[in-house]
Structure 1
Amino acid sequence: MAEPYWNGGDVQLYVGDSREILPDLGITADLIVADPPYAETSLTWDRWPGNWPLLVREAARSMWCFGSMRMFLERGHEFTGAGWKLSQDVIWEKHNGSGFAADRFKRVHETVTHWYRGDWRDLHHEVPRVPHLGPDETRPTKRRSQPAHTGTVAARGWSDDGTRMARTVLRIRSAHHRAIHPTEKPVELLDLLIRYACPPGGMVVDPFAGSGSTLEAARLTGRKAIGIEAHEPYAEAAARRLAQAPLGAS
């Protein structure tokens, strides 16, 4: 069995191919958060790890996966062929673009899809609440008058607590100004995804750990986490990040 490259107790980081390491660990987690190479550039690291949705499926029955529309259209059969069912998609709107093509619209978003196996009702799924910046919309209690033969209708009201359900389009600044990986995702975004699909105290697995942002977000929300990164220089940078990051919720 592989030994952790970095071990922080509830958070562990391994180096190697997740398709080999994850089955060998024999763990059962609550959630996979995957940000695989999209295979859309000529960069040496941007190569699709064939069949990974099948080879990681036993680790958890719930999974968020980052990608582009092109990626999911080309690789969707690998997800469905492995028994994954699509539940929803979320759009991450960046504050700046990542594309340089002059013959297309400027690309300022990425797609995040949620997949699951088994019965939906058996999985943790709780939409997180986010701050509402608009006016207070508290509605006073009102009792509607009804004819006697229809019975009494209960009084209705609503108190605005200053939050709303997170929406399917999330505008969050990217991490380019401080990123240690070219495709690093912001902790604020990962926080929402993890809170939605992993119960407090549960475990998150990231098979493409990169900069370690998923591991940091999991720890900050009080979850355990296991990350696997194929390239040791990024694993080293992620380990330094995790060693310096504050501890999460108890």
Structure 2
Amino acid sequence: MTLLCGDCRLLMPDHGPFDLIIADPPYGETSLAWDRHVRGWLPLAAKALKPHGSLWVFGSLRSFMATAPDFRAACLRQAQEIVWEKQNGSVFHADRFRRVHELLVQFYPEASPWRDIYNVVATTDDARGRVVRRKMRPTHTGAIGAASYRSVDGGPRLARSVQRFRNVHGRAIHPTEKPVALLDLIVRVSCPPDGVVGDWFAGSGAAGVAARLAGRRYVGCEIDAEMAQRALDRLASLLPFPAGERA
């Protein structure tokens, strides 16, 4: 496990290739000094992926629309997305609805077939026991007779694309810190057990915590020296670093 301090564009390519890249770049939607688009990191990240690897990026719909040409130029193809639903959310002065979600979008290299990209099917064990009966034949289906099936209580089903996790307001060490549980889900389904997670905008190191708990190798990079130290301390307190792992 390694956490670097500096510009990800300069440091991260030399630590690849990665099985999974997680990126939570500034969205560029506020007047805060740190909230500025980071140019040039996407093509470097794309080249740092293994052939079966993928890139999960946090953002708002507005930020993805603004950076869509950058993803195309980096030869990255959109695969799927998760809507992270959170409590409370935020409000800007021009909003008419409270923002209680963010997007997490998976991309993969155009040169790699989607079938070859590493993905474990995510399931949830919350299926309800019930009997479902077809009461009336839909007019467009043709001659299909009455039917029924039984759902087993507690059986697995495909995880939903809307995932609800509480945010970390009040206990975060970074203003845009993401919940470890959400990152843990991404790490486990998109990085093989012996794989390497690259965290190009490490922030608080939450993705490193998820990688550590999932047993994956991790390389993170944070440009702010004070935040990098806090993230490093956080990771070291979770499980001690073996000799030579600190960076």
- The interval holding the TM-score normalised by the smaller chain is 0.7 to 0.9
CA contact (8 A) 1:88 1:115 kept: yes
Match of 1:237 among 205, 211, 230: 230
Match of 1:228 among 216, 221, 226: 221
Q: Where does residue 169 of structure 2 map in the other structure?
A: 176
Q: Where does residue 58 of structure 1 map in the other structure?
A: 47
CA contact (8 A) 1:136 1:160 kept: yes
Unmatched 5+ residue regions in structure 2?
A: 133-148, 241-247
Match of 1:89 among 81, 95, 120: 81
Deviation at 1:162, TM superposition (A): 4.0
Q: Tell me, what secondary structure is at the counterpart of 1:56?
A: helix
Match of 2:18 among 25, 29, 36: 29
Q: Distance in 2 between matches of 1:96 and 1:131?
A: 27
Q: Where does residue 90 of structure 2 map in the other structure?
A: 98
CA contact (8 A) 1:130 1:165 kept: yes
Q: Distance in 2 between matches of 1:72 and 1:158?
A: 39
Match of 1:109 among 101, 125, 128: 101
**Residues 1:18 and 2:32 are matched in the alignment:** no
Deviation at 1:201, TM superposition (A): 2.2
Q: Distance in 2 between matches of 1:100 and 1:79?
A: 27
Deviates more, 1:83-92 or 1:116-125: 116-125
Q: Tell me, what secondary structure is at the counterpart of 1:97?
A: strand
Q: Where does residue 193 of structure 2 map in the other structure?
A: 200
Q: Distance in 2 between matches of 1:53 and 1:84?
A: 9
* Runs of 4+, deviation exceeding 6 Å: none
Q: Where does residue 212 of structure 1 map in the other structure?
A: 205
Unmatched 5+ residue regions in structure 1?
A: 1-10, 140-155
- Normalised to the residue count of structure 1, the TM-score between the two structures is 0.82
**Structure 1 counterpart of 2:187, which letter?**
I
**Structure 1 counterpart of 2:68, which letter?**
G
CA contact (8 A) 1:125 1:196 kept: yes
Q: Distance in 2 between matches of 1:79 and 1:192?
A: 24
CA contact (8 A) 1:138 1:159 kept: no
> Share of identical aligned residues, percent?
47
Deviation at 1:63, TM superposition (A): 0.5
Q: Distance in 1 between matches of 2:63 and 2:200?
A: 17
CA RMSD in angstroms, aligned pairs only: 2.0
Q: Where does residue 118 of structure 2 map in the other structure?
A: 124
